Amino acid sequence: MNDKIFRTILYLAACLMPVVCGGIVYALVTDAFEAFNHFGFLNFLTSSEWSYTDGTERYGALPFITGTLLTTLLALVFCIPFSLPVALFVGEYFKGTRIAEVLSTITSLLAGIPSIIYGLWGFYTLRPIVMSLNISPQGSGILTASLVLAIMIVPYAASLSAEFVKMVPDDLKEGAYSLGATRAEMVRKVIFPVAGSGIFSSYILAIGRALGETMTVTMLIGNTNQMPGSITETGNSMASIIANQFGEADGLRLSSLIAIGLVLFLITAIINLIGKYLIKRARIV
């Protein structure tokens, strides 16, 4: 193939992503304009009303933004204590052994399981346990959805973090040992500083998956259009409200759902940009 033709193909392929992203943003903004024009952008974001049954349509995104952020942050809190030890187990302590290979395979398998399977497991296994512990009368709610989300993203974060741990040069580890460092001290003073930005990026990607998760959250969050007073109460996320009502919505309600989708897109983009900035700062330091 001619080098000029090959470079042209690469250029066109590289330009495709910005075009697709711009097209998505344009479509969302265009279809959400009616809702923003009717309610006002800030009022739409800060209003907790979502009502269309009394003849007057009042829509606000605050309960769903709150539900999304709560489930995502709780899932991350539950995820870190389990995913980080798995990453160190596979990437450092038992690196190259048979047991590490088996665990890595299982982790990759769990990361690839469809979300609907996790949702079914959570609904029929975890939800009754939550009910039996008297944490929530229905068993559904922010906490239940967060626990299943955490289980979903643990393999994802662990497998990515393990790869960054494996990439730490052996020379640095041997240097730490030669200075009298223990295994734990080497992990804390060598692996974490060197692989820290990569590990952090794996959790940013895990947050991105948790933010947009739809079916699992829809099955377990309770699907109530109100501000959750605590993590044991039911609620709705931005993805679940769209999944629940998009099929029957039209007019102003449809525009409001698309506006929620636009807000979700913006939140995801902002978190990714913050993550990239922090990773860059970590590399500089």
- Output the pLDDT for position 22: 86
Per the domain annotation, does 280 fall within a domain? yes
- Output the pLDDT for position 284: 39
Give the residue from 28, 35, 30, 24 showing the smallest Cα distance to 251: 35
Per the domain annotation, does 14 fall within a domain? no
- Output the pLDDT for position 2: 66
- Rounded CA separation 169/163 (Å): 12
- Output the pLDDT for position 9: 81
User: Residue 124 gets which letter from DSSP?
Assistant: I
In order of 25, 134, 155, the CA distances from 105 in angstroms are 37, 36, 10
Per the domain annotation, does 20 fall within a domain? no
**What are the pLDDT tens digits along the chain (285 aa)?**
567 777 778 778 778 888 888 888 899 999 999 999 988 889 999 988 888 876 788 898 999 999 999 999 999 999 999 999 998 888 888 887 888 888 888 888 888 888 899 999 999 999 999 888 888 778 888 999 999 999 999 988 888 888 888 888 888 888 888 888 888 888 888 888 888 888 888 888 888 888 888 888 989 998 888 888 888 888 899 999 999 888 888 888 999 999 999 999 998 888 888 877 776 765 534
In the chain, the amino acid numbered 278 is: L
Number of domains composing the chain: 1
Per the domain annotation, does 12 fall within a domain? no
Integer-rounded Cα radius of gyration of the chain: 22
Per the domain annotation, does 149 fall within a domain? yes
Per the domain annotation, does 25 fall within a domain? no
Percentages (nearest 5) of helix, strand, coil residues in the chain: 80, 0, 20
In order of 96, 124, 162, 189, 190, the CA distances from 168 in angstroms are 14, 42, 10, 12, 8
Per the domain annotation, does 6 fall within a domain? no
Domain of 145, CATH number, reads: 1.10.3720.10
What phi and psi, each to the nearest 5 degrees, are found at residue 33?
A: -60, -40
- Output the pLDDT for position 171: 85
HSE, side-chain direction, 13 A CA sphere, residue 241: 30
Where in the sequence is the domain holding 148, given as residue range(s)?
A: 59-284
Per the domain annotation, does 103 fall within a domain? yes
User: Could you tell me the two tokens for 279?
Assistant: 């990773």
User: Residue 222 gets which letter from DSSP?
Assistant: B
- Output the pLDDT for position 282: 56
